[in-house]
Amino acid sequence: MGLSNARLKEFAQAKLADLEKLDLRRELADTARFSGGKIHRSAKKLISFSCNDYLGLTHHPDVIKASQEATQTFGTGSGGSRLVSGNNPLNSQLEALLSKIKGTEDAVIFGSGYLANVGVIPSLVGRDDLILIDELSHSCLFAGAKLANANIIPFKHRDTTEVSNLLSTHRKLFRHCLVLTDGVFSMDGDIAPILELHELCEKNGAWLMTDDAHGLGVIHEGRGSSIVDGYEVPVPLQVGTLSKAVGAYGGYLCANREITELMRNRARSLMYTTALPPGTLAAAIAALKIIDTNIELTNRPLAFARLFSDFLSLEPPESPIVVIQLGNPERTIKASKWLEEQGYLAVAIRPPTVPEGTSRLRCTFSATHTQDQVYDFAKKVQKILEKK
């Protein structure tokens, strides 16, 4: 082994040892997912309460069939970037369907939700511009903001008074201003004050962009976080993913046609990466058709989350994500391991994914669960809370 390779080894070992000491080292666990929310992990059969496949669409027969047929016809890979030779017509079909569901003029697809954020944000703002971002937004919104090289000011979680003050003080000093927030917060399950943010942005000449990764398909009859009291807030920039409730893979931006065209011309994470595989696009189309028409299905995850929260006397949840705050990483890991022994997967979420001192079990509910499973799981979680 060369000297530099030995140094690299030492370097990584020291970093990993630090993480180990803080109970923050992570391990990949082989996890095979089957239909009905069943998984095999470390030779154990578990029911997952940690999966983003909210509607079970990854195993829906229509979705699988669409994916198989597209793969049979067009092959396994797309063969190029969308701008070169990879723009299979399924892309346009998917974009049309997304914009219809979201009520926007157009949509543009990216390779993933992460790629959408790191592509869209730097295409809109730069050095002379301001970004206000909810402090608990998903990591990839921060990554996009940093890549944009703009002036970034995080604001307190869901605090519209602070946003208003920041806009009054800083807006006029910058050319453009982009306000970024998760629609449904991925690690907390609460929802951004979309209507208030929209009004503040309108008043101050700022652009609102929401990331609805955990909203599409699971809140407001599947239509996502832009619906407030049954009314559609015209959020001009709506990013999201096809990898969660939609059960496929990929990301999107729903916006007006000029903005989507600008992305096709400017967003580096669209231009310089290979287009999604045809089978994935076809799966997303089939899944979105189900989401668009099956309200009973899209209401189920939140109904289960409510049942669970009610049983444990927690605040009524706004989304199918329910958080059990346990505080320190060690206690959280122990709880997660104990649940695994009981037949349930509920993963421990620790820093840096969440702030220091807020390690938690993050439980997600799916249309594939049964009421009995939800109640039994709730009883197990109750035991953990009693041990406080």
Ligand X SMILES: *Cc1c(COP(=O)(O)O)cnc(C)c1O
Residue numbers of the site for ligand X (CB under 6 A)?
A: 112-114, 138, 140, 182, 186, 211, 213-214, 241, 243, 251
Sign of CA dihedral 325, 327, 329, 335: negative
CB 260 within 8 Å of CB 253: yes
Which residue, 99 or 137, is less far from ligand X as judged by CB? 137
CB of 121 to ligand X, least distance (A): 12
Q: HEC states along 292-336?
A: HHCHHHHHHHHHHHHHHHHHCCCCCCCCCEEEEEEECHHHHHHHH
Distance CA 388, CA 381 (A): 12
C-beta of residue 135 within 8 angstroms of C-beta of residue 155: yes
Separation of alpha carbons 184 and 333, rounded Å: 25
| Nearest residue (CB) to ligand X, 193 versus 343 | 193
CB of 112 to ligand X, least distance (A): 3
The pairs formed by 32-38 with CB atoms below 8 angstroms and a separation of 24 or more are 33/58, 34/59, 35/59, 35/368, 36/368, 37/366, 37/368, 37/369, 37/373
| Contacts with 92 (C-beta within 8 Å, 6 or more apart), sequence order | none
Please say which residue, 216 or 361, places its beta carbon nearer to ligand X.
Answer: 216
Query: Measured between alpha carbons, how far is 88 from 276 in angstroms, rounded to an integer?
Result: 9
> What letters, b where the CB count within 10 A reaches 16 and e where it falls short, cover 290-301?
bbbebeebbbbb
User: In whole angstroms, how close is the CB of 277 to ligand X at the nearest point?
Assistant: 14
We find the least distance from the C-beta atom of residue 20 to ligand X, in angstroms, to be: 27
| Residue closer to ligand X, measured from CB, 97 or 180 | 180
Question: Which residue matches tokens 């017509």?
Answer: 89
Smallest distance, ligand X to C-beta of residue 358, A: 17
Phi–psi pair at 206, nearest 5 degrees: -120, 160
- C-alpha 347/C-alpha 89 separation (Å) is 38
Which pair of tokens denotes residue 388? 């406080």
Q: How far is the CB of 335 from ligand X (least distance, A)?
A: 23
The distance of closest approach from Cβ of residue 53 to ligand X in the complex, given in angstroms and rounded to an integer, is 12
Nearer to ligand X, 305 or 384 (CB): 305
Considering the complex, what minimum distance in angstroms separates the CB of residue 21 from ligand X? Answer: 29
Decide whether 91 or 373 has the Cβ nearer to ligand X.
91
**3-class secondary-structure state, position 119:** helix
In terms of CB distance, is 243 or 336 closer to ligand X?
243
Nearer to ligand X, 243 or 373 (CB): 243
Distance between CA atoms of residues 355 and 15, nearest Å:
20
State the nearest-atom distance from the C-beta of 114 to ligand X, in Å. 4
Query: Whose CB is nearest to ligand X?
Result: 113
Of residues 328 and 353, the one with the C-beta less far from ligand X:
353
